[in-house]
Every structure is written in C-alpha cells, then in structure tokens.
Amino acid sequence: MKNTIRFANWLSRWDDWSGIIRISLATSLFVISIVLLLSLKRRKFDFLKSLSNNLIKNRASKKIGFSHNWHWNDLFLKPTFCNCCESVIVSGAYCNYCNLYTDEKCMKKADKMFKCKQLCDTHEADPDCEKPQKLLHRHWQHNWIKGNLKLNSSCFVCHENDCGCSPNLSDYKCCWCLRTIHEKCLNSVSNRDIVDNCDLGPFRRLLLKPNYLIKISQYSSLSIKDYKINKMLLSMIDYHDWTPLFVFANSKSGSADADVIMSHFNSILNPLQVIEMDKKNIENTLKWMQLYSDLIQFKILVCGGDGSIG
C-alpha cells in the first residue's frame, strides 16, 4: 500500500515537472524561431543594401555589361547548390534571368565569374560586322549554367533522362534555349557546333532575339527604349514567322503573384520583353513597338497579380 502511495506521489510530481519541461521547450522553440526570423530579415536587408550599392557603382562607372538580376530566397524548397563554392545552400540569392544560384558571401564573386543573359548584340563596334555576310553567319552562343536542374532532365546529345540526378552541382542548362546536357557530353562531343551554337530553343519565334538587337545607350539598361532592332540584318533574312511576345505584369494587383509570373517569363524570354506595368514603362514599350510595327507583328500578354491573363 505504501509503495502504491509513493508511486502515486511520484507520478503527481512528474506531471508537475513534465508540464514545466513542456513550457520551457515551447518557450525555447519560440525564442529560437524569433532569433532565426530576425537573422533572416537582417541577412535579406544586408543583401538588398549590397545589391543597391552594386547598382549605384555600375551606374557611376557607366558599366555596359549585363548584370545578374538577383533575388533573395529565405528558404529553397529543393536541394540547391551555390554555383561558386558548390556547397549546399538553404537560403541565398538566385538570378531569375539565367537561374544562377549563390549564397550571400559568394554573390560578388558570382557577378565576376558568370555571365548573365546577354540582352543584345555587342559586336556593333567591330568593323567586320559591317559586312552583311559575316553578320548573317555569326551564330549566337549557348550560355551554359551548371547544376540545379530538374530531376531526370533529358540530355539533348545522348537523350538519356538522368541530367541533374547527381547529389552535387552537375550537368548544365542553357539559359537561352533551355536545353540540358551532361557534363561528359559537353566536353566530349565531337561536333562542337552542337554545344557552342544556340538556336534559342522552342520559343525562338516569340523571343526578342538578342542577336537582332543593338544597344544605343552607354549604360546598363533594362528599358527597351535603349535598344534598337538591327534592320540591316532583318533585310537579309526571312523573319515573317517571328512574332515577339511582350509580357506586361501588374505586381500590385490581386495577391501580388505577378512577381512569380515575371520571374518565369524572365527565364524563358529576353528580360527586355517582361514589363512591369507602370505608366512610364508601358508608354516606352508601346512607342518602341510602334517604331517597328511596319516590319514586325508583335504579341502582347497582360498578366494580373491574381492569375488572370489577357
């Protein structure tokens, strides 16, 4: 009987202690969550500040190059690797133009190491480009980005469906034509034209082809008014099945899903074709399209933030 009473007393004391332990654990988890959240917010703030400083520096130096369009992600929902140090990253930055990934400390290094999408032809200053035949036969080059592919992507050389299946940063994807290729196929294929020259992929008829564009501004710019179409090149080719698509998206309407839409179209089209809907951007784009309306039939897709399209 005494043992039973002692056991009952022990159980009652354990209930008291277990309650205290549960409260302590819950409090600790809450505090840890708050600390992690504040840390992520701080890292995002530092990232945006660094990004802003880089943009100001590029503008001040009259940089003509094509910079990455970095976006911060607090948590990647799939296994992701940094393209610089090739380590696994849980959070970090990604370029929604070329799908390059990097952690915070490697972002500046990634800007120097990897080319983003080249929005236009940069050979205008080359005297040889004035020769029509040389201009016509110059091919656009693949821009291969390593790793972070969808599982079971198909290699366009050997046609095996196991690109991106290795548990590391492996295999490549062209950010223009969206084709994927094994690293071994990229290095060993005998016909180099296949892996060097890009036909801009399945969306080339909708794409504002970069080799048709010439930059007229000395600054790095994403405004379509700072570019012109190379009419001399158009005069030498059959371009009548070319119908570039312009995407207008309103990120302030609905549930603000237009950012996701813009990111998707930036990755498959020329970023110059993806327009944030404000009065100035719309006017500049429509005026630019009007300049070439007698030569080119443009298409327009309007996207709302609630998922509506038109």
How is residue 16 written in tokens? 């008291």
Three-state SS annotation for 82-108: CCCCCCECCCEEEECCCCCEECHHHHH
Q: How far apart are CA 307 and CA 82, in angstroms?
A: 31
What DSSP assignment string belongs to 203-229? Answer: GTTTS--GGGEEE--SS----GGGEEE
| 164-170: long-range contacts, CB 8 A cutoff, minimum separation 24 | 167/79, 168/81, 168/86, 169/81, 169/82, 169/83, 169/86, 170/146
How is residue 95 written in tokens? 């370029």
Evaluate if pTM is beyond 0.85: no
User: What does the pLDDT read at residue 172?
Assistant: 95
The enclosing H or E element of 266 equals helix 258-268
How is residue 56 written in tokens? 């100001």
User: What does the pLDDT read at residue 203?
Assistant: 92
pLDDT, tens digit only, all 310 positions of the chain: 555 655 555 555 555 555 555 656 667 676 666 655 555 555 554 555 455 445 434 443 344 446 888 988 888 988 999 999 999 999 899 999 999 999 988 988 998 899 999 888 775 444 444 455 555 556 788 999 999 999 889 999 999 998 988 889 999 999 999 999 999 999 888 778 888 899 999 999 999 999 888 888 777 677 888 899 988 888 777 778 899 999 998 877 766 677 888 888 999 999 999 998 887 888 899 999 999 988 899 999 988 766 566 6
Q: How far apart are CA 181 and CA 170, in angstroms?
A: 10
